[in-house]
Amino acid sequence: MNGAQALIESLLQEQVDHIFGYAGATICPVADALKEHPEIAYTLVRTEQNAGHMASGYARISGKVGVCMVTSGPGATNLITGIATAYMDSIPMVAITGQVPSHLLGRDIFQEVDITGAVAPFSKHSYLVKDANDIPRVVKEAFHIASTGRPGPVLIDIPIDVQEQKLKGEFSYPEQVNIRGYKPSVKGNELQIKRVAEAIARAKQPLICAGGGVWLAHARDELLELAEGCSIPVVKTMMGLGLVPTDHPLNMGMVGAHGNHCANQALAKADLLIMVGTRAADRAMVDPVDIQRRMATIHIDVDPAEIGKNMQAAIPLVGDVKVILRQLLDRDIPVTDSATWLERLKDYRKAELSRQFPRREGYVFPGTALRRLGQRLEEDAVVCVDVGQNQIFACKYLPQKSGRLLTSGGLGTMGYALPAAVGAQIAAPHRQTVVVCGDGSFQMAMNELSAVRAEGLEIKIVLFRNHTLGLVHQIQSRSPYHGPFGVALDGSPDFETIASAYGIPSITVSDEDKLDGALDSFLGEKGSCLLICEVHPDVGTND
Amino acid sequence: MKQTISVLVENRAGVLNRITGLFSRRAFNIESLAVGVTDDPTVSRITIIVDSGNSVVEQVEKQLNKLIEVIKVRTLEENTFIGRELMILKVNANNKTRQDIMTICEIMGAKVDDISPTSMTMELSATPEQLDTFQAMMRPFSILEVVRTGVIAVQKGGGKI
Ligand SMILES: Cc1ncc(C[n+]2csc(CCOP(=O)(O)OP(=O)(O)O)c2C)c(N)n1
């Protein structure tokens, strides 16, 4: 057995059933080994970045580690944005890169880059494998590191000669990992649990802020149980969207700079903030110092470094979010006396949900389209949202049921949605999968319509066409800037023709009276479909 | 405030790179850094001095802990550890100045390693402050070269990290 075969054997041990990748000379031995194993499916992307995003979408929906694999040099550098995007959102991922022969490392030979060095700032860990006999251990460790504690991407860089190297003796896969410097905390400190329970019981105006860490810990049920059991309203960060359905009485929407007004009102008036699986970053907690001053704070997170990084919490609680929530639930915290508080919030919520959107002849307002789209989606639909105004509108106004909303929250990577949707649908072929994007972000990823076609996927793509890089257009239209520059999407193709070239039908709508009919035919289409909504370029996210 | 962080790491290629990389990308400033293998050949000890407030040092400690190859991190409390640095210093010296230089060396406990008709080279192991003093005293004789190792430190008493 050679190193490449040992790699595939190890991936099988990790129950890998799909790899997203791109070919190249230095990864050929692995391709050759993979060819013998049809139980691992392979999707050829059209640019390596999207292998990362597909693996991300796959990981977020399957709950498993996403795997991508590319060649050395330009293949590896193209993947960097995919890795960084996954890192910022703590997505469990293993990225495998081919590398030039180990005896030539450091000589700048054809297609050599120091990829482990390049990704150091935004990967959880990386390996440069120098001996094929290490491969089983390295793969075992990589999957363990990627998926435990605070998840994240791990890179394995394998020189081609190591892929070809014969292993000594039989292949054997380690049962356990033992990394002395890596022991993530799981259980919460009992004393702190007690303090948290007491603080909750005392609070009159408690508020939970739930982030992506709740999804990562698979702790949605526990979160809802705590919120419902103690009558605590919930705001979510962008990464926490979908944890509480829109029509849930305790749902207060998305908090932060681009969030719902009702969520920010709740945050402004709370007397206790319980942050769960969130890093309290700038977009969600616009003024952490002010929050700290005004209310008691509890911070529950698996990563001790997040506690006190952006906000100094009064009561920190480190450990696995699911385990900690269970520990709290086991304490039978009394229902908080929050009736008046909830009553007040109900009014804020009602105002937000009945918010009237502007109408403009010949155009569709994104908020209007998203509201009506959301009402029509299946209970567990997966909606992948890109970056820009389309992201803000979708995160604010798309009604959520018990499905998922996947977006690039931390890095804000345009072009994330379509490849993420490909990965998501491969992970869950029977779930309705929808993409929401702008005409700028779609053009960053539309080459992946090939994957949609090749895999026979059914992805419904909503494209807001405003002929501009809307969010930047909006920023440039306000002080201190002097008007849009370099954002007009001149020369964009006819997206209807592009879609049809991939065998995908499309519908264009520019009249809100025709929106319902258009949405019905769009969602009713068997197979993929593109819905283009004509949006006025001057639309703003606060309209 | 200067703080001393003691870090045990896997003795492996690339580890130091991750540590220094972490400092630069998180905008933490390193005053000095010294590395050497411990009694266990698979483990190295790094002593890092940072000049920052407590909250920054706490973040440094937590971020270091997140690195997979970092085994243990401890910020050493003032007066609870022995911290030493080695300096080798070369000055201009001639028949007129040699005796004065020797006197300072004796007072400070520096050892003369090399001598030539025009120069003297001394070594001194001491606290960074004592090294600063020694260096300042040598300056009037015109220093030719100075090299300092950065502080290494261990806790006092029987405790270990
Ligand atoms: C890869 C990348 N490049 C640039 C940006 C900066 N940026 C943020 S939003 C945006 C405009 C997005 O335009 P579009 O996809 O058309 O969506 P819209 O805002 O119009 O809804 C840009 C350029 C980014 N987030 N990601």
Q: How would CATH label the architecture of B82-153?
A: 2-Layer Sandwich (3.30)
ipTM: 0.86
Tell me: pLDDT of A275 over 80. Answer: yes
pLDDT at A334: 76
Comparison of pLDDT for B57 and A277, the residue scoring more:
A277
Tell me: pLDDT of A353 over 80. Answer: yes
Tell me: pLDDT of A170 over 80. Answer: yes
Q: Which of the listed CATH numbers 1.10.1040.10, 3.10.310.30, 3.30.460.10, 3.40.50.970 matches domain A3-164?
A: 3.40.50.970
The DSSP code sequence of A454-477 is: HTT--EEEEEEE-SB-HHHHHHHT
Tell me: pLDDT of A335 over 80. Answer: no
pTM, 2 dp: 0.95
User: CA–CA separation, A388 vs A473, rounded Å?
Assistant: 10
Instruction: Give the pLDDT confidence of A478-492 residue by residue, as tens digits.
Output: 999 999 999 999 999
Determine contact, residues A362/A534, Cβ cutoff 8 Å. yes
pLDDT band at A310; cut points 50, 70, 90: confident
pLDDT at B53: 83
Task: Pick the residue whose CA is nearest to atom 20 on ligand 1.
Answer: A470
Residues of chain B with CATH 3.30.70.260: 2-78
Tell me: pLDDT of B132 over 80. Answer: yes
Average pLDDT, chain A: 96
pLDDT band at A342; cut points 50, 70, 90: very high
Task: Pick the residue whose CA is nearest to atom 17 on ligand 1.
Answer: A438
From A179, A303, A308, residue closest to B68, measured CB to CB: A179
The residues, ordered by sequence, that sit 6+ positions from B116 with a Cβ below 8 Å of its Cβ are none
Percent of chain A predicted with pLDDT > 70: 100
Tell me phi and psi for residue A314, to 5 degrees: -65, -45
Percent of chain A predicted with pLDDT > 90: 93
Query: Which ligand 1 atom lies nearest to the CA of residue A81?
Result: 1
Residues of chain B with CATH 3.30.70.1150: 82-153
Both tokens assigned to A531: 């819905």
Size of interface A-B (CB pairs under 8 A): 38
State the average pLDDT over residues A89-96: 98
Amino acid occupying residue A70: V
Q: Helix A48-62 and helix A74-88: axis angle, to 10°?
A: 30
Tell me: pLDDT of A473 over 90. Answer: yes
Both tokens assigned to B61: 């400690």
Place of tokens 């998840």: A151
Instruction: Give the pLDDT confidence of B45-88 residue by residue, as tens digits.
Output: 999 999 888 888 889 999 999 999 999 999 999 899 999 999 99
- Structural domain boundaries of chain A? 3-164, 190-351, 358-534
A residues 175-214 closer than 8 Å to B (CB): 179-182
> Sign of torsion, CA A100 A103 A104 A105?
positive
Superfamily for A190-351? TPP-binding domain (3.40.50.1220)
Tell me: pLDDT of B152 over 90. Answer: yes
Determine contact, residues A123/A153, Cβ cutoff 8 Å. yes
CA atoms within 13 A on the CB side of A305: 15
pLDDT at A292: 87
Tell me: pLDDT of A12 over 80. Answer: yes
pLDDT band at A290; cut points 50, 70, 90: confident
pLDDT at A507: 98
Tell me: pLDDT of A336 over 80. Answer: no
Identical topology for domains A190-351 and A358-534? yes
Instruction: Give the pLDDT confidence of B27-43 residue by residue, as tens digits.
Output: 888 999 999 999 999 99
pLDDT band at A304; cut points 50, 70, 90: very high
State the average pLDDT over residues A58-74: 98
Both tokens assigned to A507: 């519908």
A309: nearest CA partner in chain B? B59
pLDDT at B28: 84
Comparison of pLDDT for B116 and A352, the residue scoring more:
B116
State the average pLDDT over residues A127-135: 97
What number does CATH give the domain A358-534? 3.40.50.970
pLDDT at A532: 98
The DSSP code sequence of A116-180 is: HHHHGGGSSEEEE---GGGHHHHHHHHHHHHHSSS--EEEEEEEHHHHHSBPSSS----S----T
Tell me: pLDDT of A152 over 80. Answer: yes
pLDDT band at A281; cut points 50, 70, 90: confident
Residue A487 CA to ligand 1 center (angstroms) comes to: 9
Determine contact, residues A325/A200, Cβ cutoff 8 Å. no
Q: Is A117 on the interface with B (CB under 8 A)?
A: yes
Helix (H, G, I), strand (E, B) or coil at A372: helix
The residues, ordered by sequence, that sit 6+ positions from B73 with a Cβ below 8 Å of its Cβ are B5, B6, B7, B8, B61, B64, B65
The DSSP code sequence of A398-450 is: S---SSEEEE--SS--TT-HHHHHHHHHHH-TTS-EEEEEEHHHHHHHGGGHH
The verdict on domain B2-78 having CATH code 3.90.245.10 is no
A142: nearest CA partner in chain B? B68
Q: Is A465 on the interface with B (CB under 8 A)?
A: no
State the average pLDDT over residues A151-177: 97
Instruction: Give the pLDDT confidence of A497-526 residue by residue, as tens digits.
Output: 999 999 999 999 999 999 999 999 999 999
State how far the alpha carbon of B81 is from the alpha carbons of A190, A234, B78, B124, B143, in Å: 32, 48, 7, 19, 31
Both tokens assigned to A123: 């990967």
> Sign of torsion, CA A195 A190 A289 A541?
negative
Question: C-alpha A422: how far from its chain's center?
Answer: 13
